[in-house]
A and B are shown apart, each in its own frame.
Chain A
Amino acid sequence: MYLPELCQKVIAKFPDVTVPPVAEKTIRDPEAMVMVPAKTLVAVCRFLRENDEMAFDLPIQMTAVDYIKENVFELVYYLYSSRRKHAIIVKSRIDRAAAAIESVTPIWAGMDWQEREVFDLMGITFTGHPNLKRIMMWEGFPGFPLRKDYVHVTDRYDSGLEVGTPGLDAKGVPLKALGITGEAPSGH
C-alpha cells in the first residue's frame, strides 16, 4: 500500500514537510511516510485528520526513539483511516536537550495515554496535553528508563547479573561477579 501521492498532497499543503528518499528509506513495508518539523506537527496532524482525502481518524500508535548519537528524539506516529483504509507514518525529530513537542491529544483522544507513556519513560514533554502525569512509574522515580543513557539503579530485586551492573561486561556476562576470567561461555 504505497501511496506517494498521499505524501505529495501533504507536501503541497506544507512545503517544509519532507519525504525520506526511497534509497534512504529503510522502512521495510512501503507505507506512506512523512517527516514533519516539530513546529508544524500539530498543523499537519489537524490537516491529516480533517481533510476529506486524508481522513486519518484512527490513532493507532505513537512512540519515540532515542537516537543518542545524532542527539535527537524521533517521534513516530502511526495513523490509519477507518474510512479510506490507508495508513501513514508521521515522524518528527526534536533536540534531546529540549525534549518538548506539542501534544496531539486534542486531535485524537486516543493519543492521551500513549503520550503519557512516552513522557514517563522517555522524558519528552507534550505541551498542551490535558493530563500529563506519569503512567507506568511512580512519582519520584529517578530517570527515564527508555532513554539510551539511562543508568540502572541497583536495587534489592537485582540478581546481580543485569546488564549495566558494575563488574559485568557489556553483554551482561558475569565475569568478575562470579570470579570467572577469560572467554564468556558460548550461547550466553
Chain B
Amino acid sequence: MATDVKPPLSKGPVFETLIEKVGENEMLLNLGPQHPSTHGVLRVVLKLDGEVIRDAECDLGYLHRGVEKLCENRTYPMIIVLSDRNDYLSAMNNNWGFCLAVEKLLKTEIPARADYIRILVGELNRIASHMVFYGTFGIDIGAFTPFLHAFGRDREEILDLFEEICGARITYNYVRVGGVMLDVPEGWIGRVQAFCERMKPRLEEYDKLLTYNPIFIDRTIGVGKLSAEKAIEIGVTGPALRASGPTLDLRKDHPYSLYSQFKFDVPTGKNGDCYDRYMVRRQEMTESFRIIEQACATFPDGPFMGKVGKVYRPAIGEVYAQHEGPRGWLGYYIVSDGTDRPYRLHIRPPSFVNLQALKELVKGWKMADVIAILGSLDFVLGEVDR
C-alpha cells in the first residue's frame, strides 16, 4: 500500500565475524544460520585450533519478530495466539504461562477442572517436546531410528489428542484466561489413559535405542560438562540446570496450579554433561506420565471456564508469573495501565538464557562435540529471538 516509501534495507544485515583476534594456527568457522543441527536459524562463529574449539560467539535475531512490541498493540486474548509462536514445540505451556500472568493480574480464580485439563495438556506437551528432543538429539549423534519412533509415531499420537480437544496440532490457542477454550470431548480421558498404557513398553524401547547405546554413550558421557555453580550464575533453568545437580523445579518448590496434589519426582543428574541432560529429559517423560495418570484417575467434574468477561481491563499494576516449561522457567512480566492492552509485556524465555551457556560449554571440545552440546541444550529459536 505504501509503495512510495523506500524500505530501509540498504543498510541490511552485514556479515560480521564477531570474533576478531585469530592466532597464527587458528581459523574461524561459521556454523549456521542454516544448519540442521542448530534446530532453527542460529549462527555460531567458532574459533578453531585444529579441530579444538577455542572460542564461540552466537549470532541471534534471525527469527526476531518483535513479539513484545506486537503485544503492546493487542488485547490480552489476542496475545495468547502470539505466545503459541514463541516456543512452538510446547505451545500449550506458553499459553499457560501467559494465562497464569494475566490471571494473577486480574486476580481470577479458575475452576479445578480447568486446572486439571491444563495439567494434562501441559504435561502431554512436555512429553511431546521431549520426544522432539529425543529424536533430534539422536539424529545429531548419528542415530536415525529414534527419530522415527519418537517424532514420527509417538508424538503424532499426542498431536492427535490435541487435535481432538482444540482442532490444532502445533499452535493450539487452547489455554485461555480463566480456564480453557473447550471442555474435553467425551472419552478423551480414556484415550489419554490408553495412550499412557501404550507408551510404557515404548519408553523401554527408547532406552534400548539410545540410553544404553554404546556409541551414544561414548559420544555424550563427559562431553560438555556444566558445573552447578556456573549453570546458576548464567541463569540456566529447567532440565539443563537439573542435569548439573540442583533440584530446582517450580512445580515442586513453588507449586502453582494444582501441582501440589500430585506425586512426582524431580530427576537430576550429577555431572552436568550431555548424557545427564539427555537422561533428565528421558526421566522427566516418565514423571510426566505419572502426573497424567494421576490426573486422569481423579479428573473432576465442573465448569472448564471461570468467570472472566469477553473483554477485560486489568487494574493498574504489574505482575511477574512463572511456569515450569519443558525448557526451563518461562516468565511473563506484564505492566497494565488499566486498558485492555498491556502497557509493557516482557517474556523471559528459558531458551534465550540457557543458550548463553553454549560459549562456556564448547570451549576445549572438538568440532563434532559442538553438535552434541548444541543438541543437549534443547533450545527453540522461536523463543530465543521472539
Contacts and interface: CB of A to CB of B under 8 A. Distances in A.
B61 interface: yes
A40 to B, nearest CB: 22
Nearest to B65: A136
A60 B331 contact: yes
Given A108-B233, A110-B353, A160-B2, 16 more contacts: A27-B318, A28-B107, A61-B353, A63-B346, A65-B335, A110-B356, A111-B235, A114-B353, A135-B61, A138-B12, A140-B11, A141-B11, A153-B8, A156-B9, A159-B1, A177-B1
A89 B320 CA distance: 10
B60 A135 contact: yes
Interface string B41-73: 000000000000000000011001010110001
15 contacts: A57-B233, A60-B348, A66-B344, A76-B333, A78-B348, A109-B233, A139-B11, A140-B11, A141-B11, A145-B66, A146-B69, A154-B2, A163-B73, A166-B2, A172-B73
A86 to B, nearest CB: 10
Contacts of A8: none
A155 B7 contact: yes
A138 B13 contact: yes
B365 interface: no
Contacts of B7: 155-157
A127 to B, nearest CB: 20
B216 interface: no
B176 to A, nearest CB: 17
A58, A76, A137, A154 pick with most chain B CB within 10 angstroms: A58
Contacts of A1: 254
Contacts of A158: 1-2
A121 B234 CA distance: 21
A47 interface: no
8 shortest A-B CB distances, which residue pairs?
A: A160-B1, A110-B235, A26-B317, A140-B11, A61-B348, A63-B346, A155-B7, A136-B61
A59 B237 CA distance: 10
A93 B235 CA distance: 24
B319 interface: yes
A87 to B, nearest CB: 9
Interface in A64-110: 65-66, 76, 78, 82, 85, 89, 108-110
B331 A113 contact: no
Contact of B331 (A78, A137, A146, A163): A78
Contacts of A66: 344
A49 B334 CA distance: 26
A60 B237 CA distance: 9
Given A27-B317, A146-B69, A110 B234 contact: yes
B219 interface: no
Size bin of chain A's contact surface: 35 or more
A155 B12 CA distance: 13
Interface in B11-38: 11-14, 16
Contacts of A58: 232, 235, 237, 248
A154 B333 CA distance: 29
A82 B248 contact: yes
Contact of B8 (A82, A155, A159): A155
A82 B248 CA distance: 7
B66 A26 contact: no
B78 to A, nearest CB: 11
B42 to A, nearest CB: 12
Nearest to A25: B317
B346 A61 contact: yes
Contact of B61 (A108, A114, A137): A137
Contacts of B372: none
B223 interface: no
A14 to B, nearest CB: 23
B65 to A, nearest CB: 10
Contact of A154 (B5, B246, B253): B5
Given A58-B232, A63-B346, A138 B73 contact: no
